[in-house]
Amino acid sequence: MSEATPIEVALGSVSLKVLTAGEGPPLLALHDEMGYPGWMSWQAELSRARSLHMPLAPGFGQAPRLEWLSCVRDLACVYARLLRARGAPPVDALGFSFGGWVLAEMLANDPGLFRRLVLVAPLGIKPPEGVILDAFELTHRAHLEATVRDPAATPEFDRLYGGKPTPEQIEAFDDARAESARLAWQPYMHNPALPHLLEGLGAQVPTLIVHGDDDRVVPRSAMLAYRDALGGAELATLPRCGHRPEIESKERFVALVRDFLN
């Protein structure tokens, strides 16, 4: 399965590395808080009929940090500028965990950027019940294992982030962890204003929220809070999945995304 091609996109003084793959209508895809996980079969499947665009978040292990970024909304504004510079809006977009939060901030700032959104176990809203996993209490390996229900039963788990950690990958995880803390430490992994800023926007931009029924990173109550804030968003819960339904139940995940975006 062909992998993505990196391109450099200049946005004034900012240069972003964007991975691209496939042909067809554009689909923006934003990675999670651990960095870009590598080329997986869900990407190959979606890129058969879509032009995937996957920016590497500055500071998350594979792209240089932008020192002036101070919060998740700043990163959202950078990505919004990327879409405008490429003449793309309105586009479909897909975001995982931290990337889902970034998409939600983009939506709150400018709903006109999007045609349809898929948020996969998004961070960003404080769970009314339960808590977001504190990854900083865990080793890199323990954090990674906590993102799936059963590592041994997850077909592509051993391919995530290049497989067996190398010194370079451990350094990339450290970079991603440091940047996550810099942008989202206080309050931890959420924006208290976000539910209010999203109010009713699901009526303008159809949104699908995807969540695993055994997610140990973000509680279900946060997904319900997203759904209620957006108003009219769909919530799909995949059985026997943790925080990564795109690899834990790839066929069902890809079918859900395709059906919703079509």
| Rounded Cα distance, 61 and 168, in Å | 9
Q: In the prediction, which pLDDT does 89 show?
A: 81
Strand pairing of 114-120 and 51-55? unpaired
Give the residue-averaged pLDDT of 159-182: 92
State which amino acid sits at residue 17: K
Please report which confidence band the pLDDT of residue 124 belongs to, taking 50, 70 and 90 as the band edges.
Answer: very high
Query: Which pLDDT score is estimated for 2?
Result: 63
Dist CA 1 CA 43 (whole Å): 10
What's the rounded Cα separation, in Å, for the pair 159 and 227? 32
| pLDDT tens digits along 7-17 | 999 999 999 99
Place of tokens 């926007």: 201
Q: What DSSP string describes the chain?
A: ----EEEEEEETTEEEEEEEE--SSEEEEE-BTTB-----HHHHHHTTTSEEEEE--TTSSSS---TT--SHHHHHHHHHHHHHHTT--SEEEEEETHHHHHHHHHHHH-GGGEEEEEEES--BS--SSS----GGGS-HHHHHHHTSS-GGG-TTGGGGGGSSPPHHHHHHHHHHHHHHHHHHTTTTTB-TTHHHHTTTGGGTS-EEEEEETT-SSS-HHHHHHHHHHHSS-EEEEETT--S-HHHHSHHHHHHHHHHHH-
Q: What is the sign, positive or negative, of the torsion defined by CA atoms of 193, 108, 83, 13?
A: negative
Give the domains, in start order, of the chain with CATH numbers.
5-261 (3.40.50.1820)
**15-36 per-position pLDDT tens digit:** 999 999 999 999 999 999 999 9
What pLDDT is stored for residue 24 in this prediction?
93
Q: What distance in Å separates the CA atoms of residue 234 and residue 236, rounded to the nearest whole number? A: 7
The percent of residues above 70 in pLDDT, for the chain, comes to 99
Which pLDDT does position 237 carry in this prediction? 98
Closest residue by Cα to residue 11 from 76, 78, 60: 78
Does residue 88 register a pLDDT over 80? no
| pLDDT band, very low/low/confident/very high, at 86 (cuts 50, 70, 90) | confident
> For the segment 250-259, what is each residue's pLDDT rounded down to a tens digit?
999 999 999 9
- In whole numbers, what is the pLDDT of the chain averaged over residues? 95
Q: Is residue 214 very low, low, confident or very high in pLDDT (cuts 50, 70, 90)?
A: very high
Q: Give the whole-angstrom CA distance, residue 139 versus residue 25.
A: 39
**What is residue 165's predicted lDDT score, i.e. its pLDDT?**
83
* pLDDT greater than 70 at residue 90: yes
Cβ atoms of 109 and 191 closer than 8 Å: no
Select the more confidently predicted residue: 93 or 2.
93
Res. 1: pLDDT tops 70: no
